[in-house]
């Protein structure tokens, strides 16, 4: 493939070494991709291939994931650290703005970057994660979503969740992507044996699950937010068969976007939307990127 795997040291005080995979020529507009849990840059393989014709496409391993450094303390995973990482990465790549795309937890980070550093994001695309304020408010009012987000609470425990994931040759990890309840459905682009191997390889490294879980271990100290508004054109894509996120949250997100907002809900798709329906997702993203969205919503 025409992707390059790159390690670089963050220019900021964090001193962390980040890993990303890039496609497309340097100097083209930047498209930055933020994966979710429990994933790494690989979940964007279809998008790296698709958008490299017009963009410098960079799929990051978030702090704590894959080949990016994983600081040991959970304090190092507070949301403000994760947001600052994105700012540093942009600067290290030599850009001051990008098209920002995030899925799941990477979607949470993408929303927050768009809220905190609006000048850095020309267009925002989020896959299966609502605006963070919607998420926190909705959880408090809907026990059904609270139950679906139960793993957020489970992950607060030290070491045990990591241990659970490793049992029976990483059965939990495999079943997230393949089971009837949570995996990519019949009509989706199923993960191949090689795809599953890639995930197992990354997450079976010593300590590889602790960084990802630490992202969740600080969440309750960071939410709810002080600022809410998103001012750039925003596309929210949602697989309706998401086992973890109720689709009602997608529609409520509209309230917080003070610009062109497009929501597309795909009825047959799972939580792993950009891998499940790559062709449709890529088409929807192209349409959104090519739209003239100067007009503000009245």
User: Catalytic site residue 279?
Assistant: no
Q: Report whether 74 contacts 214 (CB < 8 A).
A: yes
8 three-state secondary structure: strand
What are the beta bridge partners of residue 40? none
The active-site residue, picked from 35, 138, 271, 276, is 271
How do strand 4-9 and strand 17-23 relate by DSSP bridges?
antiparallel
* Candidates 61, 69, 85, 104; catalytic one: 104
Q: H/E element holding 219?
A: helix 219-222
Given the residues 42, 216, 256, 260, the one annotated as active site: 216
Cα dihedral value 128, 198, 185, 160, nearest 10: -70
Residue 104 bears catalytic tag: yes
Please state, in angstroms and rounded to a whole number, the distance separating the CA atoms of residues 92 and 86. Answer: 10
CA within 13 Å, CB half, 37: 23
Q: Is 169 a catalytic residue?
A: no
Residues known to be catalytic: 104, 216, 271
């Amino acid at each position: 493939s025409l992707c390059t795997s790159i390690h670089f040291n963050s220019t900021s005080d964090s001193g962390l070494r980040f890993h990303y995979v890039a496609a497309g020529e340097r100097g083209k507009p930047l498209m930055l991709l933020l994966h979710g849990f429990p994933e790494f840059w690989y979940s964007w393989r279809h998008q790296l291939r698709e958008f490299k014709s017009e963009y410098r496409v960079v799929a990051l391993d978030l702090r704590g994931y894959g080949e990016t450094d994983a600081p040991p303390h959970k304090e190092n995973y507070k949301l403000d650290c994760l947001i600052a990482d994105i700012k540093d990465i942009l600067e290290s790549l030599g850009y001051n703005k990008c098209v920002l795309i995030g899925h799941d937890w990477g979607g949470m980070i993408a929303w927050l970057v768009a809220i905190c550093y609006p000048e850095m994001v020309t267009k925002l695309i989020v896959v299966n994660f609502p605006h963070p304020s919607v998420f926190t408010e909705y959880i408090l009012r809907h026990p059904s979503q609270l139950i679906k987000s139960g793993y957020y609470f489970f992950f607060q425990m030290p070491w045990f969740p990591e241990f659970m994931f490793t049992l029976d040759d990483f059965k939990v990890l495999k079943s997230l992507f393949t089971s009837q309840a949570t995996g990519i459905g019949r009509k989706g682009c199923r993960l191949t044996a090689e795809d599953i191997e890639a995930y197992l390889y990354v997450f079976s490294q010593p300590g590889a699950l602790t960084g990802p879980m630490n992202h969740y271990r600080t969440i309750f100290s960071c939410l709810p937010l002080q600022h809410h508004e998103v001012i750039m054109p925003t596309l929210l894509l949602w697989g309706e068969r998401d086992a973890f996120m109720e689709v009602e949250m997608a529609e409520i997100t509209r309230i917080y976007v003070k610009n062109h907002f497009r929501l597309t809900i795909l009825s047959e798709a799972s939580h792993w939307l950009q891998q499940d329906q790559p062709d449709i997702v890529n088409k929807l993203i192209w349409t959104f990127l090519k739209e003239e969205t100067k007009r503000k919503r009245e």
